[in-house]
Amino acid sequence: MIQDRLRSFYERRIAVPVGPDALVLDVGSGDKPSWRADVLLDRYPEDAFSGQRSGTGRTRVVRPLFDADAADMPFADGVFDYAICSHVLEHVTDPVGVVRELTRVAKAGYIEVPEASAAKIIDFPSHLWWCRLDSSTEPPTLVFTAKQAAAFDPEIDAYLRRSGLAEPVKRLIDTRHHENVIALHWSGEQPARAEGEHDPAFVEATINAEAHHRGAEAVVARALTVALTARKPKRSGPIRYDDVVKPELRRGDGAVLENRLYRL
């Protein structure tokens, strides 16, 4: 079981299929980016959101981090060799727009979202969509169905919480994490569609929902990542600001990206 979990972690978090010279974007990274990411984008980089993901309680800006809407990225067409978007699309109001932008700014990439069947047993109040893969198309279509409430079945959800079984069931499901997610490697294009509409009040509630990222787990994941990537080649050399942003945002001053927050 532990070997399965380690293999899943390696395949989903460590095995980024790019060479050392590739330019990699991590979308929705917060301050816990992929080890291989060169540029980050996040709409909520503040401590209240990003710090919870790293387990530190505060935002650490360790790469060039753009504060921007993932459905309207400030980057030029095809500038990135690879784009990572892990456990982000289930939180955003326009996941199809984000997928469209991912395939515009990058040549290939990786998307990971919770799979609907497992999420319908135990899901998080901050998720807006049930996610599934429609394999009747080629490539398969990523389908987002609008949630109307935090739980798929309110009565079952109430029972799990009342009985104290919610946390044990979640831990049991998490032991097979690789079966509970859609891990999608795409190249060139990635079809996506959304079904249904949200109640605005429900969307507002998800924004204010309690954070569900455990600090201890985030710290362990970060330590494991450091250990597994210590000898892996990473991109070196400066990245010019004007080389990654849209033409209309270029400054013409030759500035190089720094490890700080960029608000355009």
Structural domain boundaries of the chain? 2-263
Q: How far apart are CA 245 and CA 226, in angstroms?
A: 29
Which pLDDT does position 52 carry in this prediction? 44
Question: DSSP readout, 59-84?
Answer: ----S-EEE--TTS--BPTT-BSEEE
3-state secondary structure of 261: strand
Contacting residues for 264 by C-beta, under 8 A, at least 6 apart:
66, 67, 68, 74, 245, 249
* Upstream peptide bond of 139 is cis (omega within 30 degrees of 0): yes
Question: Which parts of the chain register pLDDT below 50?
Answer: 47-56
Select 2-263's CATH number: 3.30.60, 1.10.287, 3.40.50, 2.40.128: 3.40.50
pLDDT of residue 234: 86
Residue 133 token pair = 């893969």
pTM here is 0.90
